[in-house]
Structures are given as structure tokens and as C-alpha cells.
Amino acid sequence: MGATPLLEIEGLTKTYPGVVANEDVSLTIQPSEVHALLGENGAGKSTLVKIIYGLVRPDRGTMRLNGAPFAPASPSAARQSGIAMVFQHFSLFEALNVAENVSIGMETPPPTRELAHRIREVSETYGLPLDPHRLVGDLSAGERQRVEIIRCLLQNPRLLIMDEPTSVLTPQEVEILFSTLRQLSADGTAILYISHKLEEIRTLCDEATILRRGRVVANCNPREQTAREMAELMVGSALQSPGRSNVTPGAPLLELKGLSAKSSSPFGSELKSVSLEARRGEVLGIGGVAGNGQDELLAVLSGEQRVEPDAIQFGGAPIGHLGPNARRNLGVLAAPEERLGHAAAPEMSLTENAMLTGSVRMGLSKSGFLNWGQARAFAEDVIQAFDVRTPGAGNAARSLSGGNLQKFVIGREIKQSPQVLVVNQPTWGVDASAAAAIRQALLDLAEGGAAVIVISQDLDELLEISDRFAALNEGRLSAFRETSELTMDTIGLMMGGAHDMEVAHT
Amino acid sequence: MDLTSINPVLLIASLMVAATPILLAALGELVVEKAGVLNLGVEGMMIIGAVSGFIIAVETNSAALGFLFAALGGMALSLIFALLTQVLLSNQVATGLALTLFGLGFSALLGQNYVGIRAPSVPDWNIPLMSDVPVIGPILFQHDPIVYGSLLLVVAVWAFLKYTRAGLILRAVGESHDSAHALGYKVRRIRVAAIAFGGACAGLGGAYLSLVRVPQWTEGMTAGAGWIALAIVVFASWKAGRVLIGAYLFGGVTVLQLNLQAAGANVPVEILSMSPYLITILVLVLISADRSRAALNAPAALGRVFHASG
């Protein structure tokens, strides 16, 4: 290509106290190119795009946009230069409607009525139906992403940055997103696509830049590489896939019979007649788009939300009315999705956090008095067994990186040798090698005769470790099917697929 | 008991006077909370406004200057709160409580030499023609400028939050400061401005007590009006119109129970005295009973400390 590149980055360096986030990073994006930015958590992808979007100033290095020097002082300056960004954690406001959300992300928004009209127009052009007057709090994750994308498109960007856009979408929604992105690219917009889902990048992107520990380690054409090769470039070593010997499932351990429960949050989903049966030695996978009842299901299984005694049975005995500690005593343990604030108390040390869920089963307290020595030994045991990188058990949970804290939180439950373990998003935001370790630990636990229920939005993860799979859709759980018989299409249909889009078209 | 001694026209006119301090303070706090900040120092800012407005009005013999400095005094105190919570990231609940205690004590110190003096009077503005209409005239059109101003402020706050871009940004900051920051809005600056506005409104409300309603300076004269204003904001589910209803309801029951006491009603005085608080809270709880709707209107980032990262 002889034309001027759209964006040229040279020698960009940004250090934070103690960490080099980006070191001498260079990359070039051509107009209409779909460019992938790959790397593990903490590789420096977020810092790099924040620099391009004007949220962070680099220490050294230059950027050129269309050949002219480019150093945005604020996101607003970046937007005026034609750069738009769709955030991983949406920058949306639940209590505002779609039009207000779009308006607030624009430099010079037109009057509300005209804006609503233009939102309809753009959403039809790109096949992303949206009603401008609906509250964002009532939208699904896929629809929320459309709000973000349309907000960007209304400003006619030349470069669209997308940070992990598919992590919350069903396979059908991913297809729709990809066709939108291809259409945009054909219209001349360049796309910088951040992801760690390698198969997606292979189908969508023209170029890939791989970051590791803040440095560019490779540039490649993703269509000519295998996913495994790219993964190994990201991690910097050979990857091990989790595996286990075949186990035949034993007797049913935990049963849910037609359980219904209201949600405690105004934007949550109500559980409607959920039935499942978890047997010894098997891993149940529960998929579905976020916000379809996952949090509620975990709350009901862990005992945070009590239900009718008979709705949940453990080894034939009713336990629906029991609270979390009574269930722990029986061997029904759970690890929720939110690491900081739900699974662990952020300001408390790892020892204290180990005490919080471990005191019942590990005998860490006696007639109301706590045995800190034992709690510390238990925490250190978890740290060692699960390779949690921390200076010691006395450190606050908040000081650990997401992946390390996740290993601790999951390890803490596994070490209590549960009969039934329920986990929600066990590897969310965890890098590839730590994720593999957590999955292996869950498989080992099942092999040892426990029943494991994994709730996750990562379909690849569920296909890799679960024996049977079902999906949550608007609070309803589909029937379980053997994972080995599933295809992506059937999974998409089980998850409710894109049916909401057809409705929106009419 | 002689109920005929209670004149409904005078009753309604005086309930508006009784409600104005709370209405002003609650409107200010509504804007502060919509920006995601919980300032529990309303009582302290009101009483600082009451004393500073009273001192300036007495010294200059001008009620107008008194109100101006009351607003500035309330704003000054609120800016201490802004410095502590927005720049030094202290806890909003503790800081707000401290602000109330500080305001009560400091106002007593400032006002030592002003106890027992009368304030310069605030003239009523009788709206020509309209004020002569029977019944409606005395109720609506024979008030002082602050009462009219407070009603205009209800409309202004409502329209600002609903129709202006600045209002939209303010609500967005109160809804999710992280999202607003990611979009490039100056979360801290917007919040400081909202806090200052809230302080000025509370100061005006306090001065209305010491210059019009009582009109004298006595220690601790706000007597919990700031706390009622805070409660009204929450139970009015952060809506300007409902704040007006709540404040006037409180003012109305206050005036009514005073009239009943004067008329010699056969009810213990203590029960009459507590009735405004009970009835206001009861009615507003009933209005906001639909919990999911109320939660929608509550600013999601209320009281959370914002720390810009990266």
C-alpha cells in the first residue's frame, strides 16, 4: 500500500511506578484495515489504546495521524480527530435512555428529536436495531454494545477501537457484529480490535500486533497462523491444555426441582422453574449471556438467597432453606463472579479472607474464638498449591492482580474438599496460563468424586471442561446436553441466540 | 377547641413561609446527590447561612446583602466539604456529619453578640392586580421575593436536570463516575460545582429562618430542618416536584399543629410537635413505595469515592 498510513505509532513508552506498561511500542494502521492487538492481561493493551484515545499521556514516543503529528490531550480531542472507542466495561449509564447515552458521548449532539432519528437511521444501515427511548438498564449486553457502537458511528470515525467486544455476546450476536465491522471497514473505517479470542481474530483481522509485558513481540497476518502459534507468542511458552481421564458419573448429589426465585436487583432476571441434577464426578457447564440469571442462580445455590426447603436437595435431603454456612458444613461450596467485594473482602488480608469461608469446614474457630495460626497455615497452603503470586498471606486481597486473586478464591474453596462446588466465571479476566491451571484444578476436583457446576460466559471454557451443558436465557435453564454432541449453532440456539434481534426488526 | 379561629387562607400562605427554608436546602441537596455526592452537612450549612446572613443584615441594615452573604457562607462551608471529599478523598458520610457539628458550634460562636436583636424586615412583593384577587391573592401573590425565588428554583432545577446538556452530564456523573471519566468529563470539577450550589441553597434556606420566619438569631435555631431536607430528597426519589410536595407538606403540618395548639386542641403538645416529621416521612414513603422505580431514580454512584485511574 503506497498511501499514507492512518495511524503510525513509534517508540511509545509509558511507565507507572514499578511497572513498565508500554516499552518502545510501534505499530502502523492503514485505512480500512482491521488490525488486531493481542496479548495477555497486563501485557499493556489497555494502556496503549488509552494513549491513542487521549486518556493517558505517554512518557516518550510519537504518534502520527494521516501523516500529521498527533498527541490528543483528552478523549474529546481524540474524538474530534476521528478516533472512537467501544469500551470493554461499557461506559454507559443504566438510568439514562439510549438517546441520552449516545448524546453524552458526542462532542456536539443534535437536538433530541433529530438525534433519535439519526440513531434509527444508523442502526438500520448497519443492522443494529435499537429503540432510542429505552432505558439502557433494561437492555441486554449485546444491545448495550450496540449503543456504544452507534455512539461511535454517529461521529463518523476514521479509527474505531474495540476493546474485547465479544466477551458478552452469543455466537449469533458475534456474527452480526462481525458483519457490521466488515461493512464499516469496506466503507473506509479502520478498526483496532483488541481480544484474546484467537479464532475470532483469525476470521476477522488483516493484521495482528502481539504484545507481551509491554513490548511488541511479533507482527503477523493472523490468517496465516494457527491459533496455537499466536497463543504461544502471547504467553511466551508452550501451552498445556487441561485434560483428565474419563470418569463415569456416579449418584446424583445435588438436585434442583422447578426452582423459581425473584432477583434482588431491579435490573436482574427472575429464575423461572430451573431444574438440574449434578452427579458425583461430573462437571456441569451453564452458559448464557450475562444478566440472564447467572448471579441469581449462584445466590440460590450458595444459600445467599433462601428458597423453599424442597427446591434444592443435597443427597436427598432438603437444603433450600439453609444459609451459606450451613451449606458449607454439608459440603456445598460456592465462589461468586465478583472477586473484590463478593468472593473476597478487598481490604482484608488473605489470611482473614481464608478465615471467612474456611472457618466452618477447616475447623478454624472454636466456641466463638478464632484460631489465626491455623487460618494462616490454610491460606499459605492455598497460596502454595495454586501458585498465587503474592509476598505473603498477610497482604490485602486488593493488592493482588485479578488472576492471582481468582486463583486464591477458587483454590480456597477447592482446598476445603467440597462435595459440590459452584463457580461463576472462574477464569474471567485471568490470563491463559492461570486459566488453564484453574480449569485443571476444577477437573481434578470432579475426578476426586465431587460435583462441579461451572457458570461461565466463555463458551470455549465450557466446551473444554464440562461433561454436560445447558444455557440460561431470561432466567430459564435449558435441558442439559452432552457437551461432545454440541456445535456452535446448537449452543447459540440454546442461549436464545439472536431471537431478540428478529423481534427488534419488526 | 375553636377551629373557626383557623383561617385557611392565612394557613396556606404561612405554610409556604414555613416550608421555604427546607425547600431551598432540599433543592440544593437534590442537585448535589444527583451528581453522586452525599453531603450530610446540610444542617451545618443552613445554620452558618442563618448566622452569617443575620450578622450582615444587621450590620448593613440590608436584608438583601444578608441573603447574599448567607449564600456565600453556606458555599464556603460546602467548599471545605468539597476539598475534603473530592480532593483528599475522605469518607463523605463522616465528613458531612463533622460539617454539621462544626457548623452548629461555629455559628454559636459567631452569633454570641447577636442574640435578641431584631433583623431588618424583608418587604413582601405584592404582585399588582393578582394580589387583590380574593383567596388566591393572599395565598400566592403576597409573599417576599425569596418565596417566589424558591418556587422558580423548583422549576429551574427540574428543567435543568431534564432538558439541558449540563444537567444530563451532571446526572451521568452521579450515575457512573467511571463511565463519565472514560468519556472525558471532569468528574471532580462537576461535583465541586454541584456541592457549592448545594451549599449556597442551604445557606439561603438558613437565612430565611433567621431573617424572615423567626426573625431573630438563636443558637441551634435550624432545629433539624437540614435533616428533614435530607430525608425529603430521598423520599421524593430525587424529583424536584416531589421535593416541593414534601417541603410544603412539612410546612403545612407544622403551621397546622401550631394553630391547633393555639386553638387549644385536646391532643398532647408533644404529639402535635412531632406530627410534621411523622406525617411528612409517612406520606413520602407511601409515594416512593414502588421500590424498583425509586431505585431507578437513585443516583447509582451516590456516596462513592471517585479515584481517577490511568
Kindly give, in sequence order, each residue whose CB lies less than 8 Å from that of residue B145, ignoring residues fewer than 6 positions away: B122, B125
B6 within some domain: no
Which of A156, A340, A327, A325 has the alpha carbon at shortest distance from A253? A327
pLDDT classification of A172: cutoffs 50, 70, 90: confident
State whether B179 and A109 contact (CB < 8 Å).
no
A222-276: pLDDT as tens digits: 888 887 788 788 877 666 666 665 667 788 899 998 888 887 776 678 888 899 9
B310 contacts on A by Cβ (under 8 Å): 46-47, 50, 55-56
Nearest Cα of chain B lies from the Cα of A474 at a distance, in angstroms, of 18
Of A57-61, A173-177, A232-236, give the lowest mean pLDDT range: A232-236
Residues written for chain B: 310
- Other CB atoms within a 10 A radius of the CB of residue A67 amount to 10
Considering its fold, how many domains does chain B have in total? 1
Contact present, B27 and B154 (Cβ < 8 Å)? yes
Q: How far apart are CA B130 and CA A327, in angstroms?
A: 72
Looking at chain B, which runs of residues are DSSP E strands?
A: 125-126, 142-143
Residue tagged 483454590 (cell numbers) = A411
pLDDT in tens, B168-191: 999 999 998 988 988 888 999 999
User: Is A290's pLDDT higher than 80?
Assistant: no
Q: Looking at beta carbons, which residues of chain A come within 8 Å of B180?
A: 91, 93, 104
pLDDT at A34: 93
The SS3 assignment for B177 reads helix
Q: What is the pLDDT of residue B129?
A: 76
Q: If pLDDT is split at 50, 70 and 90, which confidence band does B148 have?
A: very high
Distance CA(A123)–CA(A144), nearest Å, equals 13
Confidence of residue A1 (pLDDT cuts 50, 70, 90): very low
- Residue of A22, A91, A107 to mutate, testing the B interface (most B Cβ within 10 Å of its Cβ): A91
CA distance A380 to A364: 14
Q: Apex CA A231: angle with CA A230 and CA A232, to 5°? A: 90
Distance of CA A252 to the CA centre of its chain: 30
Range A84-107 average pLDDT: 84
Nearest Cβ partner for A96 among B175, B182, B184: B175
CA neighbor of A419 nearest in space, from A456, A386, A452, A442: A452
In angstroms, the Cα distances linking A237 to A196, A232, A234, A318 are 16, 5, 8, 48
| A135, closest residue in chain B (CA to CA) | B296
Max mean pLDDT among A193-197, B16-20, B283-287 falls in B16-20
Instruction: Tell me if B310 is assigned to some domain.
Output: no
Q: Answer yes or no: is B248 within a domain.
A: no
Mean pLDDT of A204-214: 88
Strand order in the sheet with A215-220: A83-86, A159-163, A190-195, A34-38, A207-212, A215-220
Asked if residue A88 has pLDDT above 90, the reply is no
> Which of B34, B163, B169, B175 is the best substitution to test chain A (most A C-beta atoms within 10 A)?
B175
Whether pLDDT at A473 is above 50: yes
Mean pLDDT computed over every residue of chain A:
85
CA–CA distance, A329 with A350 (Å, rounded to integer) = 21
CATH hierarchy code of domain A252-505:
3.40.50.300
Across residues A157-182, what is the average pLDDT? Answer: 83
Distance in angstroms (rounded) separating the CA atoms of residues A428 and B47:
51
Q: Taking the model in full, what pTM does it have? A: 0.72
Q: Flag if A87 and B184 touch (Cβ within 8 Å).
A: no
Alpha-carbon distance A107 to A146, whole Å? 19
Asked if the Cβ–Cβ distance from A109 to B183 is below 8 Å, we say no
State whether residue A93 sits within 8 Å of chain B by CB: yes
- Tens of pLDDT, residue by residue over A321-363, are 999 999 999 999 999 888 877 888 888 999 999 999 988 888 8
B172/A93 Cβ within 8 A: yes
Whether A504 has a pLDDT exceeding 50, the answer reads no
Report strand pairing: A19-29 vs A34-38.
Answer: unpaired
Band (A500; pLDDT cuts 50, 70, 90): very low
Confidence tier at A288 by pLDDT (50, 70, 90) = confident
Tally of CB atoms within 10 A around A384: 10
Cα distances (Å, whole numbers) of residue A243 to A76, A130, A284, A439, A488: 49, 43, 16, 9, 21
Name the DSSP class of A396. B
Residue A54 touches partner B, C-beta closer than 8 Å: yes
How many angstroms separate the CA atoms of A98 and B241, rounded? 24
Confidence of residue A502 (pLDDT cuts 50, 70, 90): very low
Per the CB < 8 Å rule, is A93 touching B310?
Answer: no
Closest residue on chain B to A49 (Cα)? B310
Are A96 and B168 inside 8 Å of each other by CB?
yes
**Helix/strand number for chain A, H first, E second:** 17, 23
By DSSP bridging, strand A215-220 and strand A207-212 are: antiparallel
pLDDT of residue A47: 85
pLDDT at B291 over 70: no
Cα-Cα end-to-end distance for chain B:
70
Mean pLDDT comparison of A234-238, A321-325, A459-463, B193-197, highest-scoring range: B193-197
| CA-to-CA dists, residue A92 to A168, A458, B113, B176, B184, angstroms | 15, 23, 54, 8, 13
Decide if B172 and A104 are in contact by the 8 Å CB cutoff: yes
**Using the beta-carbon criterion (under 8 Å), do B296 and A93 form an inter-chain contact?**
no
**Nearest residue on chain B to A104, alpha-carbon basis:** B169
CB pairs under 8 A between A and B: 60
Cα gap A69→A156, rounded to integer Å: 21
* Mean pLDDT along residues B12-39: 94
**Domain definitions of chain A by residue range:** 7-235, 252-505
Please indicate whether, in this complex, the C-beta atoms of B182 and A55 are within 8 angstroms of each other. yes
- Of the pLDDT bands very low, low, confident and very high (cuts 50, 70, 90), residue A104 is confident
Q: Which residue of A has its CA nearest to B292?
A: A266
Please report which confidence band the pLDDT of residue A414 belongs to, taking 50, 70 and 90 as the band edges: very high
pLDDT at site A503: 38
**Which among B175, B180, B310 is the nearest to A95, CB-wise?**
B175
Cβ B297–A103 below 8 Å, yes or no? no
Calculate mean pLDDT across residues A124-133: 83
**Mean pLDDT value of segment B106-110:** 95
pLDDT single digits (tens) B200-246: 999 999 999 999 988 899 999 998 899 999 989 988 889 999 999 99
Average pLDDT of the segment spanning A471-495: 84
Chain B residue with minimum CA distance to A101: B172
DSSP A212: E
CATH of A7-235, one of 3.40.50.10320, 3.20.20.150, 3.40.50.300, 1.10.10.10: 3.40.50.300
Q: Is A56 on the interface with B (CB under 8 A)?
A: yes
Q: How many residues in total does chain A contain?
A: 506
**Among partner residues B168, B183, B292, which is closest to A266 by beta-carbon distance?**
B292
The nearest alpha carbon in chain A to B174 belongs to A93
Report phi then psi at A274, rounded to 5.
-90, 130
Amino acid symbol at B23? L
* Chain B contact set for A100 (CB, 8 A): 168
DSSP per residue over B3-48, as a string?
A: GGG--HHHHHHHHHHHHHHHHHHHHHHHHHHHTT---TTHHHHHHH
Decide if pLDDT at A144 tops 90: no
Instruction: Please say whether the beta carbons of A241 and A439 come within 8 A.
Output: no
Give the chain B residue whose CA is nearest to the CA of A48: B310
pLDDT at B2: 63
For chain A, first and last CA: distance in Å?
43
Angle at B285 between CA B284 and CA B290, to 5 degrees: 115
Q: How large is the average pLDDT for residues B39-55? A: 96
Residue A373: burial class (beta carbons within 10 Å; 0-12, 13-18, 19+) = exposed
pLDDT at B52: 96
Give me the residue from B175, B180, B182 closest to A87, CB to CB: B182
Nearest to A289 by CA among A501, A131, A442: A501
Amino acid A505: pLDDT: 38
Given this model, what pLDDT does residue A228 score? Answer: 77
SS (H, E, C) A28-78: EECCCCEEEEECCCCCCHHHHHHHHCCCCCCCEEEEEECCEECCCCCHHHH
Cβ-based contacts of A91 with chain B (< 8 Å)? 176, 178-180, 182-183
Gap between the Cα atoms of B157 and B241, Å rounded: 9
Mutate to test the interface with B, among A85, A90, A104 (most CBs of B within 10 A): A104
- The residue range of the domain holding B93 is 13-223
What mean pLDDT, rounded, does chain B reach?
89
Q: Cβ distance B109 to B51 under 8 Å?
A: no
Please tell me the number of Cα atoms within 13 Å of A272 on its side-chain side: 10
DSSP reduced 3-state for A420 = strand
pLDDT band at A143 (very low <50, low <70, confident <90, very high): confident
Please check whether residue B52 lies inside any domain of the structure.
yes
Grid coordinates standing for A139? Answer: 437492555
Residue of B211, B199, B273, B188 whose CA lies nearest to B64: B211
Same topology, domains A7-235 and A252-505? Answer is: yes
Q: Which grid cell sits at B189?
A: 470539577
> Please, which residues have CB within 8 angstroms of residue A461's CB and are 6 or more apart in sequence?
A426, A427, A435, A439, A454
pLDDT tens column, B51-98: 999 999 999 999 999 999 999 999 999 999 999 999 999 999 999 999
Judged by CB atoms closer than 8 Å, whether chains meet at A90 and B179 is answered as yes
